[in-house]
Amino acid sequence: MKILANDGIAKSGIDALETAGFEVITDTVAQERLVKYINDNNITGLLVRSATKVRKDIIDSCSSLKLIGRGGVGMDNIDVDYAREKGLHVINTPGASSASVAELVFAHLFGMVRFLFDSNRNMPLDGDTRFKELKKNYGAGIELRGKKIGIIGFGRIGREVAKIALGQGMEVLAHDPYCETATIDLDFYDGQKLSFNINTIAIEDVYKNADFITVHVPFQGKPLISKKEINMMKDNVGLINAARGGVIDESDLLDALESGKVRFAGLDVFVNEPTPNMRVLMTHQISMTPHIGAATLEAQDRIGTELAEQIESLLK
C-alpha cells in the first residue's frame, strides 16, 4: 500500500511505515495536481500537515484513498466529517507536541523573569558602551521557584506545563471547567516517579493568586482574558499565550503592560498571523516567538511514529 506524505514526514515515520510494509512517497504534489496523482499512483493514505488541503473534491474523486492523516493537531485543512461520512479514516497526533509547547512556555517564563528577551536585543547594540547601565536595568530579576503558576485549560499541554512547573518547585493553580482533578506523573531520568493530584479551582481564584498565568484552551470565539480579567490579577503578573492568537486580548494586554499592571508577557501566537500587529511586535516587555510551540525535532519524530502506529493498526 502506498502512503503519500505530501507535506513531509520525519524519518522515524518513514522507517516505521516501511518496516510495516508500506511504500512511502514524500513528493510534494501541487494542490491542483493531487487528485490525478493519487489516482494515477493508487495512493491509500494521504498524510498532510497544514499546507495541503483535503477537501470534498479529493475525497469524492479518489476512490483508492482510505485514510487521511494530519501530522499535528488542527484539522481545519481537512473536511473531517465529510471524509468520515464517506468511510475514510481521519487521524491526527494531538499529543505529540504537547511537551514541546510546554517547554516553550518555560523558555518564555525563564527568559522574561531575567529580561533575557530584552537583554539579547540590547547587548549587541550597547553591551560594550553601556554595560553597567544594562546590568542595572536587568538586575531586578525574580525567580520562578516558590511562585504560583496559573494554568487555564488543563488538557494535554496544560498538564505538561504543570509537570515542568512542579519540577521547578512552583505551585500549580489550574482551572478547567471540564476537568475536576488530574494526576500529574513526574518521571525522572533514573526511573524514580512522583505523582501529584491537582484539583482545578475557580478561574477567579487563579486570577487573584497566580504570579504567572498561561493559557492552554482552544480559541473561544472571543478573548478569554481581557481588561476585566487582567484587572482581577495580581500586580506585576506575567502572562503567556502559546494557545491561539487573541485568547488574551492583545490590545488590553498592551495597555496593561504600559500601565505596569502586567509586568511581562510571552507570546507564541498572534492575532492576524502571519502579519501580527506592529504595536505588539515593537513592545519591549514581550518575549515573542513566531508560532513555534510545536516545532521541535523530537515532536516531528513523535508525530511520525504516532502516525505510523495508527496507520498500521487501521490499514493492516
Closest chain position to ligand NAD (CB): 155
Q: Quick one: DSSP state of residue 91?
A: E
User: Cα separations (Å) of 168 from 9, 117, 143, 144, 156?
Assistant: 34, 21, 10, 7, 19
Distance CA 3, CA 210 (A): 47
CB of 279 to ligand NAD, least distance (A): 21
User: Cα separations (Å) of 11 from 21, 26, 90?
Assistant: 15, 11, 22
Distance CA 220, CA 93 (A): 22
Greatest CA span in the chain, whole angstroms?
69
Catalytically annotated residue among 114, 291, 298, 309 = 291
Distance CA 102, CA 138 (A): 25
Residue 123 as a binder of ligand NAD (CB under 6 A): the answer is: no
Phi, psi of 192 (to 5 degrees): -70, 150
Please identify which residue in 22, 154, 264, 270 interacts with ligand NAD, judged by CB under 6 A: 154
3-state secondary structure of 2: strand
203-262 binders of ligand NAD (CB under 6 A) = 216-218, 220, 224, 242-244
- Say whether 291 is catalytic: yes
User: For the window 59-78, what string marks contact with ligand NAD as x by the rule CB under 6 A?
Assistant: --------------x-----
Please identify which residue in 44, 93, 98, 214 interacts with ligand NAD, judged by CB under 6 A: 98
User: For the window 24-53, what string marks contact with ligand NAD as x by the rule CB under 6 A?
Assistant: ------------------------------
Contact 78, 90 (CB under 8 A): yes
Distance CA 128, CA 132 (A): 9
Q: Which of 285, 273, 279 is nearest to 245 (CA)?
A: 273
Catalytically annotated residue among 244, 250, 263, 306 = 244
Residue 155 as a binder of ligand NAD (CB under 6 A): the answer is: yes
Residue 109 as a binder of ligand NAD (CB under 6 A): the answer is: no
3-state secondary structure of 24: strand
Please identify which residue in 35, 80, 179, 201 interacts with ligand NAD, judged by CB under 6 A: 179
Amino acid identity at 111? G
Q: Which of residues 62 and 224 has its CB atom nearest to ligand NAD in the complex?
A: 224
Contact 38, 26 (CB under 8 A): no
User: For the window 278-297, what string marks contact with ligand NAD as x by the rule CB under 6 A?
Assistant: -------------x-xx---
Catalytically annotated residue among 204, 258, 273, 284 = 273
The span of 27-35, 131-139, 141-149, 174-182 binding ligand NAD (CB under 6 A) equals 174-182
- Say whether 273 is catalytic: yes
Annotated catalytic residues are 244, 273, 291
Residues that bind ligand NAD (CB under 6 A): 73, 94, 97-98, 101, 152-158, 175-179, 216-218, 220, 224, 242-244, 268-269, 291, 293-294
